[in-house]
Amino acid sequence: MKTTTLNERIKPPKLVSPETVKAIMEAFSLPLITAKILVGRGWDTVESASTFLKPELAKLNSPFMFTDMAKAVDRILAASASQEKVCIHGDYDVDGITATALLTRFLRKIGISASTYVPHRLNEGYGLSEDGIRKIADQGARLLITVDCGITSIKEAALAKSLGMDVIITDHHLPLAELPEVCAILNPKVDSLYPDRDLAGVGVALKLAQALAVKAGLSETEALQFADLAAIGTAADIAPLINENRSITRLGIDSLKRSPIEGIKALLRAAGLYDKQIDTTRILFQIAPLINAMGRMGDPARCVEFFLTDDPAKAGRLADELQKNNTDRRSVDQSMTEECFRMVDATFSPKSTAFITLFNPGWHAGVLGIVASRVMEKYCRPTLVFTEVDGMARGSARSIPGLNLFDAIADSADLLDHYGGHAFAAGVTMKRDNLKEFSERLNRYASRQLTEKDFVRTHETDVEADTLDQLDFTLYKSLLEFEPHGAGNQRPVFFCRGGETVGRPRIVGNGHLKFNVRKGSKVYDAIAFRQGDKMAIVEGSRDLTLAFTLEENTWMGNTTLQLNVRGIE
């Protein structure tokens, strides 16, 4: 197979004030390297560093800082008083499923018997639909609450109103110029008064549960006991793990193994995590894929059921179903990814391709986003992968830093039947005949917005390791205070130049590069995931520049430190 080689750059860390580093180091009894990382990330005063290192419960914002929160709570409690039927409409990804389960569980806890509706990814697509609204109305619902969707559903909200339903929208996606006419909107990207714009969809659902707890005369902790669900959804949605998201996620991760939810217990057993430390990496790569697989390959409503059941045996059976779906998903997305790579390699021109668009009417709609991410990562270009569903082109897109995907797609809204998403991830549906023009417009738009430097895969680093001798378990344990990690708070990345390869590197697993490296007296194991094509660079080198994170590796009962290599120059 032809391989397209792209530029890669490792940026040295920025310089920091030695005096400031010393002050932070002494105030918190930290290793020098850890203090440098804190200062370099902007936590450069004792007060700000303390806020970051100790994201306590008290730092959660009042839910009533949302402009429409009181209206939303009053309408829900009125529905409870008059025994109206309430339906929670969620999305089929991890954020939407956990948000649906969280709010449904809490409403049932306070005596409101809410039903749930999650659209089928393959048959209905993302968000509210006319068919879905009519089904919910036919079931007798008089109050519809959306979670993780709805902010762009103007026509659907109007239809719900015409069918006798009030609508409360809780969402975190970007809005259109016009907002739906509904009872209340809870969306930090719409509400200028709410101080944290970055809440995930499940985070907004948690804030609504907090407010309901207060108005119902309960303690907010009655709602916050569902932070385990919020942590899973927030981490899986790649929401920035700073400010309130950081507090919610740390609180939820700390309580995951104590969760009373049978679905979470079964999920941890299925992922093999009951005897392991849980962090956002394990949520992203071991827990989230199991949840997502149900929505990608089967019926996502089954996954909501998984988190709502109180029957351990049923939860166990559903966990088995999740695992089977995930196995099927892996097989499908691997073959689709390989096909996409072949298509791009055959036609890719770095000078003329600013936005990659791929289409095959036979591709599985459930894994489009995963495949788009893999193509985007390999070629460092925003990517949109399409298939055909019911005669329409349906696609999922992922972007690189430098291009706001939502804005790029909105620029050609006249060609689309439906779209929505974020700066880095979005979904679209259109008539197949519009696909060629849409692809050309996207490429022109991206060509105007991006420059050559945007197409260079750049690894930002936090701190330089003058020698690898500086890396030890004391340092590693101090870095655990930076958890939970995620967007906006990535794992600290080390910069090291002049590394020497020791012995022969080898390929392990599915194209991963394993080698030993020395700078100073210590030799460290290093693993570079999906970078097997760099074997020739590493072999016999005495002048490697590496970007890496530090991690524990346990093998045959022996735990050592390992370099997880992000970039090699």
- Rounded CA separation 384/360 (Å): 12
- Report pLDDT digits (tens) over 193-220: 999 999 999 999 999 999 999 999 999 8
β-strand pairing of 523-528 with 544-555: unpaired
Q: Categorize the per-residue pLDDT at 117 as very low, low, confident or very high, splitting at 50, 70 and 90.
A: very high
Share of the chain above pLDDT 70, in %: 98
Place of tokens 């006798």: 164
Contacts of 417 (CB under 8 A, 6+ apart): 392, 429, 430, 431
- The answer to whether the CB of 126 falls within 8 A of the CB of 118 is no
- Rounded CA separation 521/427 (Å): 51
Rounded to 5°, angle at Cα 296 from 292 and 298: 105
Residue 6's pLDDT is: 53
Share of the chain above pLDDT 90, in %: 76
Residue 95 has pLDDT above 80, yes or no: yes
Residue 275's pLDDT is: 82
Topology adopted by domain 58-324: inorganic pyrophosphatase (n-terminal core) (3.90.1640)
- Report pLDDT digits (tens) over 502-529: 999 999 988 899 999 999 999 999 999 9
Residue 422's pLDDT is: 81
Residue 5's pLDDT is: 43
Query: Is 274 in a helix, a strand, or coil?
Result: coil
- The answer to whether the CB of 465 falls within 8 A of the CB of 13 is no
- The answer to whether the CB of 471 falls within 8 A of the CB of 425 is no
- Rounded CA separation 182/24 (Å): 49
Contacts of 431 (CB under 8 A, 6+ apart): 392, 393, 417
Residue 381 has pLDDT above 90, yes or no: yes
- Rounded CA separation 546/551 (Å): 15
- Report pLDDT digits (tens) over 430-463: 999 999 999 999 999 999 999 988 998 889 999 9
Q: Categorize the per-residue pLDDT at 292 as very low, low, confident or very high, splitting at 50, 70 and 90.
A: confident
| Residue 284 DSSP class | I
- Report pLDDT digits (tens) over 214-248: 999 999 899 999 999 999 999 998 899 988 999 99
Place of tokens 């509400």: 191
- The answer to whether the CB of 487 falls within 8 A of the CB of 39 is no
Q: How many CB atoms lie within 10 A of CB 105?
A: 17
Residue 344's pLDDT is: 95
Residue 296's pLDDT is: 77
Residue 134 has pLDDT above 70, yes or no: yes
Which ranges of 41-118 does DSSP label H, i.e. alpha helix? Answer: 46-53, 69-81, 94-109
Dihedral over Cα of 34, 36, 39, 42: its sign = negative
Query: What is the CB-side half-sphere exposure of residue 119 using CA atoms within 13 A?
Result: 21
- Report pLDDT digits (tens) over 523-547: 999 999 989 989 999 999 999 999 9
Q: Categorize the per-residue pLDDT at 554 as very low, low, confident or very high, splitting at 50, 70 and 90.
A: confident
Contacts of 41 (CB under 8 A, 6+ apart): 462
Which pair of tokens denotes residue 561?
């430190």
Place of tokens 């005495």: 542
- The phi-psi region of residue 492 (left if phi > 0; otherwise alpha if psi is between -120 and 50; otherwise beta) is beta
CATH number, span 348-458:
3.10.310.30
Residue 96 has pLDDT above 80, yes or no: yes
Q: How many CB atoms lie within 10 A of CB 130?
A: 11
| Residue 54 DSSP class | -
C-alpha distance from residue 396 to each of 98, 116, 125, 184, 314 (Å): 21, 25, 11, 29, 33
Topology adopted by domain 8-54+460-568: OB fold (Dihydrolipoamide Acetyltransferase, E2P) (2.40.50)
- Report pLDDT digits (tens) over 344-360: 999 888 889 999 999 99
The candidate with the shortest Cα–Cα distance to 565, out of 487, 465, 482, is 465
Residue 94 has pLDDT above 50, yes or no: yes
Dihedral of the alpha carbons of 25, 27, 29, 34, in degrees to the nearest 10: -30
Bridge partners for 529 per DSSP: none
Q: How many CB atoms lie within 10 A of CB 257?
A: 16
Query: What is the CB-side half-sphere exposure of residue 343 using CA atoms within 13 A?
Result: 16
Residue 57's pLDDT is: 62
Query: Is 486 in a helix, a strand, or coil?
Result: strand
Delimit the domains of the chain by residue range: 8-54+460-568, 58-324, 348-458
C-alpha distance from residue 233 to each of 107, 147, 236, 329 (Å): 19, 12, 5, 20
Report, as an integer, the average pLDDT of 465-479: 94
Q: How many CB atoms lie within 10 A of CB 378?
A: 20
Amino acid at 70: A
- The answer to whether the CB of 322 falls within 8 A of the CB of 290 is yes
Report, as an integer, the average pLDDT of 56-68: 87
Q: Categorize the per-residue pLDDT at 556 as very low, low, confident or very high, splitting at 50, 70 and 90.
A: confident
Report the chain's mean pLDDT, rounded to a whole number.
Answer: 92
